């Protein structure tokens, strides 16, 4: 069994909002938080999706450093998710916004981080030991004739 690409979850949420619930914009207010500076922080639906994506990116990077033999399949799935996110961003008008741009960037970061971390985990190739010749200081002195 292969690992599930976690960044597919926020992309699925954005797809559901774009195609099944077109009346709900990503700029819809979810909450308004009062800050100690006496300012109000408005948290939108797009902000919440990006926060979820950042948390899931942490999980993806944690998966990338685990030992196991599923590295190639995880990278392939990450590449497919990144390609889908970039394709939606470039080709579909409903995805032409900052939230989808950042989601696409996160998928590319996840793919690149998986490759970098995966290459760093490879065991070093085994090399046969090389015989080292004795240094002149340890060699026997020549015998007088």
Q: What is the pLDDT of residues 3-27, one digit of tens each?
A: 789 999 999 999 999 999 989 999 9
The confidence score (pLDDT) of residue 138 equals: 62
pLDDT of residue 62: 84
The kind and range of the H/E element at 42 are strand 40-44
At a CB cut-off of 8 Å and minimum separation 6, what does 19 contact? 94
pLDDT at 1: 42
**Domains of the chain by residue range:** 8-120
Separation between Cα atoms, residue 143 and residue 145, nearest integer Å: 6
Chain mean pLDDT for the chain: 86
Q: Which residues contact 97 (CB under 8 A, 6 or more apart)?
A: 26, 46
The predicted pLDDT at position 144 comes to: 73
What are the pLDDT digits (tens) for 61-107?
888 777 666 777 888 899 999 999 999 999 999 999 999 999 999 99
């Amino acid at each position: 069994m292969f690992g599930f690409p976690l960044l597919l979850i926020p992309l699925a949420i954005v797809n559901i909002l774009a195609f099944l619930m077109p009346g709900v914009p990503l700029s819809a207010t979810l909450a308004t938080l009062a800050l100690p500076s006496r300012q109000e922080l408005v948290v939108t639906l797009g902000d919440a999706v990006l926060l979820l994506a950042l948390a899931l990116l942490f999980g993806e990077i944690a998966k990338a450093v685990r030992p196991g033999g599923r590295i190639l399949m995880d990278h392939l799935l990450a590449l497919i998710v990144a390609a889908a996110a970039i394709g939606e961003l470039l080709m579909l008008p409903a995805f032409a916004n900052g939230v989808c741009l950042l989601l696409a960037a996160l998928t590319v970061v996840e793919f690149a981080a998986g490759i970098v971390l995966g290459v760093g985990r490879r065991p070093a190739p085994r090399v046969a030991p090389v015989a080292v010749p004795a240094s002149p200081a340890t060699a026997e002195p020549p015998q007088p004739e």
